[in-house]
Structure 1
């Protein structure tokens, strides 16, 4: 039996659901509708196939996305945002705008010195 997690605030809860390097980029890639696995991998540069599979499984478990399997030859699988995932994507839009606005400054940070 697993114990439900208690959060200190809404931000803590949101970060728990979307935390990590890749989930935000996956959410962004799914914003315009269903996407197949190969398209998703190309839309998220730098992610390995293994990590993408793990992230997609976790996002499906948390209810952020829906995985639709089409029983055909060749097999076809599409991923799409749930209402829950779409609402998180909407909330993250402001963060993305902040990043765009401060992109030059952020790129100039000597990240090797940041601990």
Structure 2
């Protein structure tokens, strides 16, 4: 639902019929827009990956942050976690069918980002 904006008799703008739920873009960004989330999904696109290998692939993120994101993704049904019967015990993660539905627009985001001028950064 789109908000209707009107001016009152003193020229102040007021929004009416505003949505109380986030719009579809905001909802999607809340699900996969967290830092490192898209990268984690992207690195799981081809095959299951062990945690330590994933941590190396997602350079710059702490293991604590990766663990937190993986738990969120698992809770949302976007990845699965499997404990492997190895010595020492290790864990691997795999993208689910639902998680795979995000790969199309993540690839489009990758292409868009690659086409941006070099001087553009997230901090700008």
Cα deviation code 1:36-81 (max 9, x no counterpart): 0010000001111111111111110011101011234321211010
Question: Which structure: larger Rg?
Answer: 2
- Measured after TM superposition, the shift of residue 106 of structure 1 is 1.7
Higher percent of residues as helix: 1
- Give the structure-2-normalised TM-score: 0.76
RMSD (Å), alpha carbons? 1.8
Which of these residues, 9, 20, 44, is aligned with residue 58 of structure 2?
A: 44
- 4+ long deviations beyond 4 Å: none
Query: Can you give the 5+ residue segments of structure 1 that lack an aligned partner in the other structure?
Result: 1-5
Higher percent of residues as strand: 2
Q: How many residues align?
A: 105
- The answer to whether the aligner puts 1:21 opposite 2:53 as a matched pair is no
Query: Can you give the 5+ residue segments of structure 2 that lack an aligned partner in the other structure?
Result: 1-19
- The answer to whether the aligner puts 1:35 opposite 2:52 as a matched pair is no
Deviates more, 1:85-94 or 1:35-44: 85-94
